[in-house]
Amino acid sequence: MTSVQSEKLEKLHAIDRECIHLEQIASLLHWDQETYLPEMGAEDRSDQLALMEGIYHERFTSPEIGKLLAELGSTSDNPRGDEKLPDIERDFLRVVRKEYDKAVKLPNEFVIAMAKAEGLSQAAWVKARKENDFPSFLPHLVKMIDFAKQGAVYWGYTGNPYDGLLDIYEPGMDSAAIDAVFIPLRERLSVLLKDISSKPAPDVSFLSRGYDTSVQAKFNEELMKKLGFDTRRGRLDVSAHPFTIELGSEDVRITTRYFSDLLFSAIFSTIHECGHAFYEMSIPKELRGTSIGCGASMGVHESQSRFWENVLGRSLPFWETFFPLIKKHFPKELADVSVEKFYQAANEAKPSLIRVEADEVSYCLHIILRFELEKKLFSGELDPADLPGVWRQRMKEIIGVEPETDSDGVLQDTHWSGGMFGYFPSYALGNLYGLQFYEKIKSDIPNFSAGADKDNFAQLHAWLNDNIYVWGRRLEPPELLKKVTGQKLGSDAFLNYIETKYRGIYRL
């Protein structure tokens, strides 16, 4: 690398650092909005957030970035730039080039018009969902689909625009690759779910015995520390919808929510968010605060959170270790509950209408339904006006239940009203990546057990660190998967895990 190149890189890094700081400032406003903001503060807060977004956009689309990228040899066709630059810098250039192109290729008036339409669409969706009135939301949905299609055209996608949208959330992935894994997933999970439905449901009545939420909070704080969460570098708060957010390279916040009659809600959302937080907290120091200092994609992030929540957190060895702890907090409520009963209740599977309440078996089926519909909406095979009917029909075929209202059907998720088409598959891909990684963990760590790694899961953290966290966002998901497991994306690891586990629990 020449001294001129290193000077230009330094300049680019300085701008990038500023953009990351602007993002983190906006995140802080956002975190506060979701946790402690008094009701009357909402209006000012939304103005503050809009202002920050404007400043960020202006900084991130400044021609100076384009000029520096070009001078370092990074173009749309050769995003990694000059071959003589160190690998880590070339990975950095690739990410900045891709993001920069996406931001500058959209004309300003288009971005403004889309933001306005999005606000109206989200308000219309809230009302339509409440009143079970799909027709009133339809014109907004049509508009959001048109904006998404137009955006993909600006970005230069010539085939199905849906592939361009998938690339936002899952770089390097397209609908053909996703189809190849979703088809066997749909077939085998539908059969398993049907088999489970014919068996008696586990007794879950003890979960609603009235668990003091302040005692739950104590247990959750204790649990997250035992999983390895360093409270000097993050904290746990309460919000309506649990989330993880990075406010600085040594400050990662998570949230959960407590219900006295739903013991599992807080526990599993805390474990889930811990999985996200561990990923963000463990990115190597030299990458933190840069555009490659975060997770590889939405899907890879979900692979971490779902792995902690489901594969570890809903396993018998895990509760053999932690059941005595929760029993200490709730001795009366759990007096007659055995660890086996607790484990079975944590893994109850049944066909349900609502995605966010779905269990480990049916969750992917909810995603596959949405993926199939999105694909057809963008190829023109499905008219948005026909969505409610097609939704009901496919729910019945894939999951075995049919919603009585559109509020419990096509109107249940916020994603489409916000123009987030192509986001859903990430959730299911996270399950698949997670189990492919887990097969490797088991072969690299002999006798690995979710209950045995008592030293704050040090062994597991070390593995995740060496294999996943270390890359930050340097690799796209398919490259990361190949590097870690030597394989391409596949559904076998997940399906084998889920079939073995649930055939055991339900004695099938």
> Among 278, 255, 269, 267, which residue's Cα sits nearest to residue 31?
255
**Active site amino acids:** 273
Q: Which is nearer to Zn ion, 286 or 357 (CB)?
A: 357
Q: Could you tell me the two tokens for 341?
A: 């009963």
Kindly state the number of chain residues that form the binding site for Zn ion, as judged by CB under 5 A: 1
Q: Could you tell me the two tokens for 222?
A: 């204790």
Query: Shortest Cβ distance from residue 301 to Zn ion (Å)?
Result: 7
Query: Shortest Cβ distance from residue 267 to Zn ion (Å)?
Result: 15
Q: Which is nearer to Zn ion, 166 or 298 (CB)?
A: 298
Of 8-16, 135-143, 303-311, 378-386, which segment contacts Zn ion by CB under 5 A?
303-311
Of 165-173, 219-227, 297-305, 461-469, which segment contacts Zn ion by CB under 5 A?
297-305
Of 97-105, 305-313, 339-347, 377-385, which segment contacts Zn ion by CB under 5 A?
305-313
Q: Which is nearer to Zn ion, 85 or 277 (CB)?
A: 277
Query: Shortest Cβ distance from residue 34 to Zn ion (Å)?
Result: 15
Whether residue 401 contacts residue 394, with contact meaning beta carbons closer than 8 Å, is answered with no
Binding track, positions 416-455, relative to Zn ion; x by CB under 5 A: ----------------------------------------
If one asks whether residue 305 binds Zn ion (CB under 5 A), the answer comes out as yes
Query: Shortest Cβ distance from residue 422 to Zn ion (Å)?
Result: 17
Through-space distance between the first and last CA atoms of the chain, rounded to whole angstroms: 62
Q: Which is nearer to Zn ion, 228 or 295 (CB)?
A: 295
Query: Shortest Cβ distance from residue 187 to Zn ion (Å)?
Result: 26
Please write down the HEC assignment for all residues of 45-88.
HHHHHHHHHHHHHHHHCCHHHHHHHHHCCCCCCCCCCCCCCCHH
Q: Which is nearer to Zn ion, 151 or 242 (CB)?
A: 242
Q: Which is nearer to Zn ion, 272 or 375 (CB)?
A: 272
Kind plus residue range of the DSSP H or E element containing 252: strand 251-256
**In the complex, residue closest to Zn ion by CB:** 305
Looking only at residues 123 through 162 of this chain, which bind Zn ion when binding is defined by CB under 5 A? none
Q: Could you tell me the two tokens for 172?
A: 């390097």
Cα distances (Å, whole numbers) of residue 126 to 31, 140, 317, 414: 22, 12, 42, 8
Binding track, positions 248-287, relative to Zn ion; x by CB under 5 A: ----------------------------------------
Query: Shortest Cβ distance from residue 56 to Zn ion (Å)?
Result: 23
* Gap between the Cα atoms of 154 and 114, Å rounded: 14
Judged by DSSP in three states, 245 sits in: strand
* Gap between the Cα atoms of 480 and 469, Å rounded: 11
Query: Shortest Cβ distance from residue 358 to Zn ion (Å)?
Result: 14
> Among 208, 237, 232, 210, which residue's Cα sits nearest to residue 221?
237
Whether residue 49 contacts residue 26, with contact meaning beta carbons closer than 8 Å, is answered with yes
For residue 372, give every residue at least 6 positions away whose Cβ sits within 8 Å of its Cβ, in sequence order, or none: 394
Of 50-58, 90-98, 194-202, 300-308, which segment contacts Zn ion by CB under 5 A?
300-308
Whether residue 162 contacts residue 374, with contact meaning beta carbons closer than 8 Å, is answered with yes
Number of Cβ within 10 Å of residue 240's Cβ equals 9
Query: Shortest Cβ distance from residue 508 to Zn ion (Å)?
Result: 29
Please write down the HEC assignment for all residues of 117-135.
HHHHHHHHHHHHHHHCCHH
* Gap between the Cα atoms of 117 and 146, Å rounded: 11
Give the CA-trace dihedral at 31, 35, 40, 44, to 10 degrees: 0
Number of Cβ within 10 Å of residue 18's Cβ equals 13
Query: Shortest Cβ distance from residue 88 to Zn ion (Å)?
Result: 28
Q: Which is nearer to Zn ion, 183 or 356 (CB)?
A: 356
> Among 454, 456, 484, which residue's Cα sits nearest to residue 469?
484
* Gap between the Cα atoms of 103 and 396, Å rounded: 40
Phi and psi dihedrals of 73, rounded to 5?
Answer: 85, 5
Judged by DSSP in three states, 256 sits in: strand
Q: Could you tell me the two tokens for 455?
A: 């030293």
Please write down the HEC assignment for all residues of 205-238.
HHHHCCCCHHHHHHHHHHHHHHHCCCCCCEEEEE
Q: Could you tell me the two tokens for 43?
A: 């209006």
Query: Shortest Cβ distance from residue 414 to Zn ion (Å)?
Result: 15
* Gap between the Cα atoms of 28 and 49, Å rounded: 10
Q: List residues near Zn ion by CB under 5 A.
A: 305
